[in-house]
Structure 1
Amino acid sequence: MSGAADRGRASGGLSGARILAVLIKEFIQLTRDRLTYAMILVMPIVQLLLFGYAINNDPRDLPTAVLVQDQGPMARSTLSALVNTGYFKIVRAASSPGELDEAVARGEVQFALTIPADFTRRVARGDDAQILVEADASDPAATGGAIAALSSLPTTALSRDLVGAVAQRGQGASASAPFAVVIHRRYNPEAITAYNIVPGLLGVILSMTLVMMTALGVTREYERGTMESLLATPARPIEVMIGKLAPYVAVGLIQTAVILVLARALFQVPMAGGWVALSLGVMLFIVGSLALGFLISTLARTQLQAMQMSFFYMMPSMLLSGFMFPFRGMPGWAQALGDVIPVTHFLRVVRGALLKGLDVAQLWSSLSALGLFVLVISALAMARYRTTLD
């Protein structure tokens, strides 16, 4: 009977009814796998929102600190013209050059402007007046547009302040600009993109490998049934977690060493110091990534789901962390989301230590954020694992 049915299927043409039956079966199976179904719907929406609203390669309103030692009207006009370019947002008035330097080093501001005490007098006399703009150029894409806008500042800032003989001198055929803008690109004066991208790759590679390896490794044990044997042992959840994640810590450390060596050997990435802060940040990030992978394994029922959830974590990590696009170019809500992602803080630690030589005290806020991430994710993973035991 079955042979006759087989011959009938072989000899007959395509059957719309049979195709429809298989189609319905696949849709039913898809709706039962709610996580996969949610990923199919959510992923394109998230991508559309991120690329459409959050990504901006020409950042505006970059935080700027100023040290104004000249309180004359020309200094005020220069500040107003700087803000009117749309690229600069004055967020801090410093009282000393050291305060400016610290603000730029910590990443609190992107630019630091100094107007010297004799600025107005030099402009009035035509005596080579200058202002100093220091830029955190560790990410060339974040400062390129703003630095280009500074080229027109000397000719437009004082157009209403220069009168009489000064104005006539400024309008002469051979006249020069009333003042000059001296730009000091710090940490990456040659605007080499690799200096910013290669250190950032450390965070992306560690996330991609450690989160996914842990999530898939533990989920594989559930699929194969070997986890049941582990659950039958007297090992406590924290002991199981430490035992399973410890080998991957070594993997992460080896990856870190390889990436740093190649970054120096192939791309000449500067190693300014900050090794204590870098080591602490690497350890916190590795442990946090492994804990996140363990948490994903407690939520996923199959390796496919674990991989999907890992990719869903990786996408905003790459787009909102400042790795691919300037962090300060994103709108406020996107920056708030980016601050929740551990990769964001890890990139600040890596770039701050390697390019700026910052120590633990100067990177404390980012290191604290990584420590909080480790505690929260580890607690959630333990809670989920206990649920699995029950």
Structure 2
Amino acid sequence: MLSPTRTWAVLVKEFVQLTRDRLTYAMILVLPIVQLLLFGYAINDDPRRLPTAVLAQDHGAFSRSILSALSTSGYFDIRLEARSQAELDRALERGDVQFAVVIPGDFTRRVVRGERAQILVEADASDPSATSGAVAALSNLPAQALARDLTGPLSARQPGQAPFEVVVHRRYNPEAVTAYNIVPGLLGVILSMTLVMMTSLGMARERERGTMEGLLATPARPLEVMAGKLAPYVLVGLIQAGVILVLARVLFGVPMQGGWAAFGLGLTLFIVGSLALGFLISTVARTQLQAMQMSFFYVLPSILLSGFMFPFRGMPEWAQALGTAIPVTHFLRVVRGSLLKGAGLEAAAPSLLELSIFVVVVSTLAMLRYRTTLD
């Protein structure tokens, strides 16, 4: 028969034990708050103020009106006035801008003569959800941008005829296939989940089983232990990456444009950094449960703030700052830049530098923590 007294005693004991495990207690309280803040404030499917580059070969009043209309639309933030098409292409390839606007030199003359005037808007459509709202807003640009300029004789044109045409060129993903953006991004998420968790859980398991004491009794130095522990997982990460790439090409038709040097270097840095992070977590966690909780606390922001599921530029500045500190963000830029754009080492250099810093910092902290454990 169920005894309320004994049940209550066990219940009180569990609550006391829970409060003693500070890490688990903190996870229970902090994790829902973090999820609420991220989903409530940081996630936005309709990004605004997207960085835009302009190549204005016509400097007349009509051109200035168009640029003003783009800025006031709320979707475009003109940050670069390019001097050549090559500079525009480089900015798009590096991911510095989301849009590139080209106003040809004969634009004003064609508008005045009533000829077929055009402007070109090139969009980095590697992430279709990041550009769809802005591209849709461009449909209203011809009717509104020059409304105040075309007065008097200039306003005499056929009813319904727009003064100019906006030609939109979706680069890197012209058909707006979502899988082209999501599937390469899965590479970073899957590697984070498996490598960080496998390493942290493996080390914590050794500590729980008592085999860590035997390792600590050996003359092996922290760097030697770390290298020996992580080397097999590097091979695991490379195999996982190869499998994902093959399936991405065969099942989803993801284009492979090249940039393999940048991709290979970024992949190596990310694998080593993820394993070092797992090693660092294992030096802090006392149990496998704590190791899993800490790993999940890293994986969740990596999914939400890296640009994997939601447009990175749609997040507020504070969320973008947090996302920039996450290595998955930079790895996704390398992967998508290499596969979809064919970006080389020069274009991927900023992200590769961030990944290198991450590897050095996390590896150093992991060795220092392990040395403390040895002492």
TM-score (norm 1): 0.95
Q: Which residue of 1 aligns with 2:150?
A: 162
Cα deviation for residue 287 of structure 1 reads 0.3
Equivalent in 235, 238, 242 of residue 220 of structure 2: 235
- 1:185-334 alignment to 2 at 5 Å? 185-334=170-319
Please list, as runs of the form range in 1=range in 2, the aligned pairs for 1:1-390 lying within 5 A after superposition.
10=1, 14-15=3-4, 17-169=5-157, 172-173=158-159, 175-390=160-375
Aligned to 2:119, the other structure's residue is in SS state: strand
Residue 5 of structure 1 corresponds to which residue in structure 2? none
**Alignment partners' CA distance in 2, 1:257 and 1:14:** 58
Cα RMSD after superposing both structures: 0.9
Corresponding residue SS for 1:363: helix
Cα distance, 1:117 vs. partner? 1.1
Deviations 1:234-257 (A, max 9, x none): 111111111111000000000010
Using the TM superposition, name which of 18-27 and 247-256 deviates more.
18-27
Q: Alignment partner of 1:127: what SS?
A: coil
- Alpha-carbon deviation of 1:365? 0.6
CA offset digits 1:302-322 (Å, max 9, x no partner) = 000000001000000000000
Q: Distance in 2 between matches of 1:296 and 1:94?
A: 45
Q: CA deviation at 1:284?
A: 0.4
TM-score normalised to structure 2 length: 0.99
Count of paired positions: 375
CA distance in 1, matches of 2:52, 2:101: 7
Q: Name the larger-Rg structure.
A: 1
Task: Percent identity, please.
Answer: 74
| Structure 2, gaps ≥5 residues long | none
**CA shift at 1:24, angstroms?**
1.6
State the shift of 1:19 in Å: 3.0
Q: Distance in 2 between matches of 1:364 and 1:65?
A: 20
SS at match of 2:19: helix
The one-letter code of the counterpart of 1:41 is L
Counterpart of 1:79, as a letter, is L
How big is each residue's C-alpha offset from its partner over 1:276-308, in whole Å with a ceiling of 9 and x where there is no partner? 110000000000000000000001010000000
Superposed CA deviations along residues 198-254 of structure 1, whole A, max 9, x for unmatched, are 000000000000000000001000000001011111111111111111000000000
Distance of 2:239 and 2:8 partners within structure 1: 52
State how far apart, in whole Å, the 2-side matches of 1:126 and 1:138 are: 35
> Counterparts of 1:253 and 1:113 in 2: how far apart (Å)?
40
